[in-house]
Chain A
């Protein structure tokens, strides 16, 4: 599980781990808690080009549907097959085994720090 104070965040309740030219993306524990038990995850195809801010996947719980936004413009390098098979990982380990996609990018947009994101969700 990543140290969440070291991660960056978006206003769409996603976390972003920057490693060289690739970001790993997941949803925050706050978002997972709001969704409730996640029962279905749809992720973009590996190799597809995504535009920053666009909807590239869905996270469904028993109660609602959350959209997965690409935090950066780039190419999907990897998706988490484990979370497709076991969507509950999004709830049990949102910052770790519940990661969703990795995207290679050229330019990193402005993201929120842990402190900024915490202020956003009032925690």
Chain B
């Protein structure tokens, strides 16, 4: 995301002219017309907020928000060996997921570190859609392509052709059901979390998944670029009576942080083991086949390796990414570091995710965050910080 510790003087610089390599979403003009402020995200100019990131955050918790996620990467894997290939290339066992089921997974390197965290959909018996982070698009494509060599499978990067729109919040189903031109091949009300349905918008194919990155009920809609703007506009019109607001990446970040969801580049990296990040369950060591990163995962991180925890504190001053964690008010050597932190808009107090020494990871442990020279007490807290009422 944007820099977390920018002085006014430097934060103003983020408005400088886009570099020649800047990418624009197919929905860019709609964002301009909606008054969005933009930020660079992995080379893309994406909406950071439209008016107020707090209002957008609260709208998703209480009504609905619509996000443009067209910067994310879509990689299609097709062929008779597609399932077996993914079992080898990824940490999870994807061959067994059902048609139109989604699964969160990881692309590991041989050392057991995380190249990317992804969501995989089975779109046909021999076809899967891998959705990767924008910033890891080429690393993900390269890793998958290299690992495909001995399988009868084709890996195609369709990122430039596919747009992604998320509608998130308690009113999201009502909005999709009211969207003119959107036909779903099935019943949205009966659609389970991490399941998808096919459909059409006007004449274009749409994949509608009950997935998201906000901790609320919601949907993600994949559609080819030429039809994306019309779909966005139709969702927008349908959402008007349901409190739908356009929401930017700033609110997306606070929403996912409250929901305890990791963000690549903050909680996850090529030098992070899944087990450190609380993602040990995503690595399927019971899988009967070899997979990239298996050997290192079986060995696991060292006993001293830091582990990801949630931190909650009182007051209003939030610890932010890269702030050091100390075991006491006067300790001189840091025992951890924050990877994401903010004043929680929903809870009203500061929350953070941090990597700490294993001895500090027990729930209820008191630690201290160095907030720009002041040590602020914080308590190790269970993740997620926020869970919606079901």
Contact = CB atoms under 8 A, between A and B. Distances in A.
Interface of B: 1-9, 11-12, 14-15, 37, 48-49, 52-55, 57, 250, 253-254, 316-318, 320, 342-343, 345, 372
Given A60-B317, A65-B372, A31 B53 contact: no
Give the secondary structure class of A's interface: mixed
A62 B351 CA distance: 11
Contact of A64 (B6, B54, B345): B6
Interface string A15-56: 000000000000100110111110110100000000000000
A12 interface: yes
Interface of A: 11-14, 27, 30-31, 33-37, 39-40, 42, 58-67, 88, 91, 121-122
Contact of A62 (B6, B12, B37, B345): B345
B8 A62 contact: no
Contact of A33 (B1, B37, B250, B253): B37
Given A33-B37, A40-B316, A67 B254 contact: no
Give the secondary structure class of B's interface: mixed
Contact of B343 (A62, A66, A91, A122): A62
10 contacts: A12-B7, A14-B8, A30-B12, A33-B37, A34-B14, A34-B15, A39-B316, A62-B345, A65-B5, A65-B320
A91 B49 CA distance: 14
A59 B343 CA distance: 13
A12 B3 CA distance: 18
Contacts of B54: 37, 39, 62, 88
Nearest to A32: B8
Nearest to B344: A62
B8 A34 contact: yes
A60 B343 contact: yes
A31 B52 contact: no
A37 B342 CA distance: 12
B12 A31 contact: yes
A12 B8 contact: yes
A35 B11 contact: yes
Contacts of A33: 37
Contacts of B318: 40, 60
8 closest cross-chain pairs (CB), A and B:
A40-B316, A66-B8, A37-B54, A64-B6, A13-B8, A34-B11, A39-B343, A67-B7
